[in-house]
Amino acid sequence: MRSDQTLKHAFTLLLIAVTCGFLGILWPFAGAIFWAVVLAILFQPLNRRLHARMPRARNTAALLTLLTCLLIVILPLIAVTLSVIQEAVSVYHRLSTGQMDFGTYIQQIKDALPNWALDLLHKLNLSTLTEIQQRLSTLAGEAAKSFATQAVSLGQNTMSFVVSFGIMLYLLFFLLRDGMQLAARVLEAVPLDATHKSQLLSKFTTVIKATVKGNLAVAMAQGALGGLIFWIMGIEAPALWGVLMAFLSLLPAIGASLIWGPVAIYFLAAGNVSQGIILIAYGLLVIGLVDNLLRPLLVGKDTKMPDYVVLISTIGGMSLFGLSGFVIGPAIAALFMATWEIFAPPHSASDTPSS
């Protein structure tokens, strides 16, 4: 007769096997599931308020919350994305037809370069305008090939995107309606002390809310301000550059400057000193101030993580998980810090032995 210990081990192996199999089935839709969970956490307070006003209509409260999420988050995001794609296609068309002449820009920059920079270009076989244009033509050809490949891939993956989007909305409805009960069941199964489980759950939800709301607020502010100054200064495709600045601003401290910085350098090199100085001053004092003021208040204050941890975890998360990594990275970092605080709690002054 088999012992209880053997049966327990067998059941544990079975549990691990079926769990891995189930996760494997869900993996193709991991992004949709992740964002459904994130949106459910963000909009759960609204759902609770609606449910309190209509206690016998859980489905209606969840549906109204879902519609609110669609109106204020998802639909505007889709509209901005379509606008940016339109502008990107327009810029690509002008580049491919020669309406945008980089030769003039390159010559202006080259004329303003010091001798040491010209010597460096000579060593790189870029001493003449023809050589530079040949290199740019090669890069443009590669970019065109990549653009075409991505366009074909996007067309092929349209159905996959529609399915994932539908799964996200469908799952979001049930997470809004039954999320609290599901979270309670999951916590019951976690083999930790109740206090520790509550601490980790609180940390996880706090980081998710602070990271998404804080980073998105900073991104929208920096993108809008960057696009505005580009539009005022007459720079091509300001909406496209504004969205790129918003996207890069997910990287704390350095993000948006990766766009406006090179443009300011070009202005200075091309002899438009006043425009270059204005753009640098605007970037540092206006766009940079948004990052320096809002991010610590909206992200660092709630997550209680140092800025360097937020930066490293964001970059690492995005390198591993793509766009979703700006949430996943800091969330994992926060759980890491919270778990180690539980395992090795900091000593208080009273714990220090007296001499």
pLDDT at 248: 79
Here the tokens at position 22 are 């189930």
With H, G, I as helix, E, B as strand and everything else as coil, classify residue 252. Answer: coil
The predicted structure's pLDDT at residue 106:
60
Rounded Cα distance, 337 and 21, in Å = 30
Please give the pLDDT value at position 352: 47
Sign of the CA dihedral with 302 first, then 305, 310, and 314 last: negative
Q: What are phi and psi of 306, to 5 degrees?
A: -60, 155
The pLDDT, as a whole number, for residue 142 is 57
Provide the pLDDT for residue 125: 60
Q: What pTM value is reported for the model?
A: 0.68
* Cβ 72 vs Cβ 66: under 8 Å: no
Please state the φ and ψ torsions of residue 353, each to the nearest 5 degrees: -65, 140
pLDDT of the residue at 119: 67
Would you give per-residue pLDDT tens digits along the chain (355 residues)?
456 777 777 888 888 899 889 889 888 888 888 889 888 888 888 888 988 888 888 889 899 999 998 888 888 777 777 776 776 666 666 666 665 555 555 655 666 565 666 666 666 665 555 555 556 555 555 555 555 555 555 555 667 778 888 888 999 999 988 888 888 887 777 777 777 777 777 777 877 877 777 777 888 888 888 888 888 888 877 777 888 888 777 776 677 888 888 888 878 877 778 888 888 898 888 888 877 777 666 666 666 677 777 778 878 888 888 777 878 888 888 888 878 877 766 654 445 444 4
* Residue 286 in tokens: 């206006």
Q: What confidence score (pLDDT) does residue 2 get?
A: 59
For the chain, the C-alpha Rg in angstroms (whole number) is 26
Q: From CA 12, how far away is CA 55, in angstroms rounded? A: 40
**Residue closest to 174 by CA, chosen among 68, 15, 66, 67:** 66
Nearest partner of 256 among 242, 235, 277, 269, judged by Cα: 242
- Extract the tokens encoding 73: 């988050």
Helix (H, G, I), strand (E, B) or coil at 98: coil
Q: What residue has token string 């799952």? A: 171
Position 349 scores a pLDDT of: 46
Domain map (residue ranges) of the chain: 29-189, 192-342
